[in-house]
Amino acid sequence: MSGATSKKPRVLKGVVASNKMQKTIVVRVDRLKKHPKYLKYMKISNRFKAHDEKNEAGLGDIVLIRETKPISKEKRWILAGVVTRAGRTAEKTETV
């Protein structure tokens, strides 16, 4: 066996919770976890910082993020694609 074994990177689906940073989005990923004693399912959410080179993801969009090598102290994910866009209101509003 020689050296490098390539692992398949994890891909997660989540909702953009924040896009206020430059080239970075915060993605909330929800999952269900079963309680060991009561056997009831609990909703657990994790927040991941992901690299968004073109700043294309908006607040509330459903996105796919892919695991990658560390980009900064907290960024280990990159934006793989936007699944659905959130409904946005018109940017320009007329005042009377």
Asked whether 41 and 14 are in contact (CB, 8 A), the reply is: no
Contacting residues for 47 by C-beta, under 8 A, at least 6 apart: 17, 26, 27, 28, 29
In the chain, where are the structural domains located?
Answer: 11-84
Longest dimension (CA), the chain: 74
Residue 75 pairs in a beta bridge with 49
Predicted pLDDT of residue 77: 98
Residues in the chain: 96
Q: What are 11-25's pLDDT values in tens digits? A: 999 999 999 999 999
Q: What is the pTM of this model?
A: 0.81
CA 46 to mean position of chain CA atoms: 9
Pick the CATH number of 11-84 from 3.40.630.10, 3.40.20.10, 2.40.50.140, 2.102.10.10: 2.40.50.140
- Which of the 8 DSSP states describes residue 53? T
